Amino acid sequence: MSHSNILLLDSARRARERAAKARQLSQGVLDPQTLVRLENYALALEARATELEQMAEKLGRTIDKTRRLTQEVRDAVEALQQTVAKLKDEK
């Protein structure tokens, strides 16, 4: 897992923790407007956490694809070098 993935997932975890804290705080609130604001805040944090997790997943797939393509390029270069070496030997 890349450093960027770890940072994204850590940010998502912290957002979920803040959402849980907001919901916990809302249990002691009697004012309906404040209660709604806390719940909306918690929902926004949960949505952001989901977004960050999706970004981390997408980044992971991109990194995996990049690694595969890099290996394919390396393999192609090696095959080309071997072909060139064989052609030089034949001369």
Q: Where are the domains of the chain?
A: 3-90
Helix axes 32-90, 3-26, angle to 10 degrees: 170
pLDDT of residue 1: 79
Query: pLDDT tier at 90 (50, 70, 90 boundaries)?
Result: confident
Q: Write down the pLDDT at residue 66.
A: 96
Q: Position of tokens 């004012």? A: 31
pLDDT in the model for residue 2: 87
Q: What is the mean predicted confidence (pLDDT) over 52-76?
A: 97
pTM: 0.78
Residue-wise pLDDT for 17-63, tens only, equals 999 999 999 998 999 999 999 999 999 999 999 999 999 999 999 99
The end-to-end CA distance of the chain, in Å, is 48
- C-beta pairs of 75-83 under 8 Å, 24+ apart in sequence: none
